[in-house]
Amino acid sequence: MGLVTQEFDLYAVREEHELLRESVRALVESKIAPYAAAVDHDARYPQEAHDALHAADMAAIHIPEEYGGAGADALATCIVIEEVARACVSSSLIPAVNKLGTMPVILAGSEELKRRYLTPVARGEGMFSYALSEPEAGSDAGGMTTRAVPDGDGWRLNGVKRWITNAGVSDYYTVMAVTEPGIGTRGISAFVVEKADEGVSFGAPEKKLGIKGSPTREVYFDNVWIPGDRIIGEPGTGFKTAMRTLDHTRVTIAAQAVGVAQGALDYATQYVKERRQFGKPIAELQGVQFMLADMGMKLTAARQLTYTAAAKSERNDADLTYFGAAAKCFASDAAMEITTDAVQLLGGYGYTQDYPLERMMRDAKITQIYEGTNQVQRVVMARQLLKG
């Protein structure tokens, strides 16, 4: 697809990215949006979106060209996620989680590991998930208890991971585990685990408020043997890799939030132009106009912050940690406010499943929670500010 840009020249980037946006939007409107309500209602995996995104080489558009990918830059990846989330947040987790799962390999994996696992994902022959959280280790990810101990020329893995997005669907998992107890996060390592590995199993899908089409399950590791060449980076570097990964992928959650907010604003705007009360369209009521203005303002600010963070992700700027947290936090808070206001603008209709806004509001909520709650994002930002 040739979407790699070495320099972020504003005008060059704008043209090629807007062409990408048009392409993704056409794909979404024809092959993803028509199934969004059913995916939510039936709590089923969005297979139609899966097939469409893979056929268009957009399911893992971020993978570099040398591994068979499109080589899309961070902003292009955000645009894909944003446009899919505009219609179906569950479906947007296909490219988002593929990036989350593969980033540790991209950032710290050996060349052989990259070729072995990034290539099939780029070809649409597998998907990647990210396994960090545990039942007793959520925001305190460093408190994990999943263990990997040396065993011959490999490792023996035991433990449980929780809140794993697309678990059971993905073929590959980046798994963080303690390899040297007693030294805190410096004793955590990262591994690639395959769904087909003996001893890997999955819990029942969680019954969730939103993103019902994306399976969220526990992953169990019962004496799973992992070959030594599947470690990502050096032993003890897993937690650092996990945090570096989140610096980049929080930007994609911001894009997801921007997308669902845009979808809600678009729908509400069209509705208020058609809905008549007191003898005129309610769009002519000043109170309604003020709500739309505030929604648009928040969305514009969220998008600009997200795109700035994407540029910093592409360049791996020193202040990416701050901007990634800021974009994720601001955009998800804005998405929750915008989708809630969109429901309000439809009145009683907004509260029913006959209209998409109640689904969008439910889906938006998770963007304030996963990949670090927004309270954690504020801690991250404050620490960056205090460091100067």
Residues known to be catalytic? 371
Q: What's the rounded Cα separation, in Å, for the pair 296 and 265?
A: 7
Sign (positive or negative) of CA dihedral 345, 270, 50, 70 = negative
Distance of alpha carbon 288 from alpha carbon 281, whole angstroms: 10
| Distance (Å, whole) CA 52 – CA 247 | 28
CA distance 216 to 162: 8
The phi-psi region of residue 163 (left if phi > 0; otherwise alpha if psi is between -120 and 50; otherwise beta) is: left
Please tell me the distance from the alpha carbon of residue 291 to that of residue 379, in angstroms, as a whole number: 30
Q: Which amino acid is at 86?
A: R
Q: C-alpha angle with apex 195: 193 to 198, nearest 5 degrees?
A: 85
Measure the CA–CA gap between 314 and 312, rounded to whole angstroms.
Answer: 5
